[in-house]
């Protein structure tokens, strides 16, 4: 069966490093940390008192003030990133068949702040059920996909993907499949997350998943460093517009790159811990390469999941060495979570954008906050420590792994 070729024609981002793709990329290229002390709530009594928050964002800049109150912050973030992506791709132009434009949008958690506020309010009351009529629609993880389609009139395939930290990479793969199978001509794909709340931070603290480096938040995310002590929670959104290549050419769209392949696998091992031998991570990268019809030596850069956890980082590198063999030492590898923190369900989307922009600018963003080598990692690996490195990039691979053992990888390559 012949399939359609798929390209990227638009990008949008709202991140802890900046509220547009260009601001985000500038932060990555400069090796800037988006971490600081939490302002969303009083975190004084929490084990972790810092996060990578979105800064200086006014949702009324993209959403009517009345509608803002009917939406959770995770949807505010989605709308902002999508507006930039839609404008970038020219999807508001005449002649776009809205019946053939889909929306596949991810969130690992959805409206956590809304859920927290409504349940807390009820618990503090007299038992009389007084809930906001928008409680459920503000909270559910699929509402972003629905609201995006309503705003722009996109009537193609429309749903949400939910697979923890792999959610928005799964959204990209689902969009990829929808286009190459002819179910849509264009898909607005990506994800958003707004989990910097008391229950979000408290819950991850209880799991001992977060860094507790309260004395120095900006250096707390330390992927591959011997003193890494957990991830830094982030928030925001990333939008990637994917499109049928022939459709994009016919309408004269700007083309960033090709979405060449996607892989999916499961660890089938543990609720939260990665497989100790990196089996699921190995499978997913091999699946992505096979899907793209590419060789290991075609990949120039891997944007790793790299969360800065004691267990996760070594298992991912073990998998990379198993998949790429000697070529692992010829590639650049970096974790942009060292700068953005971990955006959970939105991580895959903003990291895909990081890889695409790296190709555009021939510059590999760094893994910042490296101070001390960990002997578990082979020194022949180029983990792009502390400073961005110039390099012509023809193909990049991006990994995301989620609680439950969900693994997803995507490959982007220069258009030819």
Catalytic residue annotation: 165, 305, 342
Q: Which two tokens stand for residue 34?
A: 């988006």
Would the CA dihedral through 97, 110, 341, 55 be positive or negative?
positive
**Residues forming beta bridges with residue 18, ordered by sequence position:** 15
In this structure, what are the phi and psi dihedrals at residue 101, rounded to the nearest 5 degrees?
-110, 120
Residue (of 160, 183, 153, 62) closest to 111 by Cα position: 160
**Contact criterion met (CB below 8 Å) for 293 and 333:** no
Q: In 10 A of CB 199, how many CB atoms?
A: 17
Q: Where are the alpha helices (DSSP H) in 293-394?
A: 312-324, 337-340, 347-361
Report the first-to-last Cα separation within the chain, whole angstroms. Answer: 22
In this structure, what are the phi and psi dihedrals at residue 239, rounded to the nearest 5 degrees?
-125, 130
**Residues forming beta bridges with residue 238, ordered by sequence position:** 13, 191
**Contact criterion met (CB below 8 Å) for 87 and 23:** no
CA distance 14 to 23: 9
In this structure, what are the phi and psi dihedrals at residue 397, rounded to the nearest 5 degrees?
-120, 140
In this structure, what are the phi and psi dihedrals at residue 160, rounded to the nearest 5 degrees?
-115, 150
């Amino acid at each position: 069966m012949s399939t359609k070729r798929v390209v990227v024609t638009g990008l949008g981002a709202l991140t802890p490093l900046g509220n547009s793709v260009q601001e985000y990329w500038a932060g990555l290229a400069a090796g800037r940390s988006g971490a600081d002390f939490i302002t969303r709530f009083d975190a004084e009594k929490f084990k972790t008192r810092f996060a990578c928050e979105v800064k200086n964002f006014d949702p009324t800049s993209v959403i009517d003030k009345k509608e803002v109150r009917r939406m959770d912050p995770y949807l505010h973030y989605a709308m902002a990133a999508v507006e930039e992506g839609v404008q970038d791709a020219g999807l508001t132009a005449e002649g776009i068949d809205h019946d053939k434009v889909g929306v596949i949008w991810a969130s690992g958690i959805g409206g956590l702040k809304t859920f927290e506020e409504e349940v807390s309010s009820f618990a503090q009351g007299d038992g009389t059920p007084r809930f906001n009529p928008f409680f459920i629609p503000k909270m559910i993880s699929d509402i972003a996909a629905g609201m995006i389609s309503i705003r722009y009139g996109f009537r193609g395939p429309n749903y949400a993907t939910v697979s923890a930290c792999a959610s928005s990479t799964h959204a990209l793969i689902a969009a990829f499949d929808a286009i190459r199978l002819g179910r849509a001509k264009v898909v607005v794909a990506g994800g958003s997350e707004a989990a910097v709340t008391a229950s979000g931070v408290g819950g991850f603290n209880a799991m001992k998943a977060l860094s507790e480096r309260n004395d120095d938040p900006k250096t707390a995310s330390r992927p591959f460093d011997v003193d890494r002590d957990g991830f830094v929670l982030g928030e925001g959104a990333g939008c990637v517009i994917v499109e049928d290549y022939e459709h994009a050419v016919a309408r004269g769209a700007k083309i960033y790159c090709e979405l060449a392949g996607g892989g999916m696998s499961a660890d089938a091992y543990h609720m939260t811990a990665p497989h100790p031998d990196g089996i699921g991570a190995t499978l997913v990268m091999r699946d992505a390469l096979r899907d793209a019809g590419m060789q290991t030596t075609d990949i120039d850069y891997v944007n790793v999941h790299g969360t800065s956890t004691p267990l996760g980082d070594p298992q991912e590198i073990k998998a990379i060495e198993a998949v790429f063999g000697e070529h692992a030492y010829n590639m650049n590898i970096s974790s942009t979570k060292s700068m953005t923190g971990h955006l959970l369900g939105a991580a895959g989307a903003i990291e895909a954008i990081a890889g695409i922009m790296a190709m555009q600018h021939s510059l590999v963003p760094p893994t910042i906050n490296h101070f001390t080598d960990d002997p578990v990692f082979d020194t022949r690996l180029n983990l792009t420590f502390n400073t961005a490195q110039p390099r012509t990039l023809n193909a990049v691979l991006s990994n995301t792994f989620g609680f439950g053992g969900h693994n997803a990888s995507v490959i982007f390559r220069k258009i030819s």
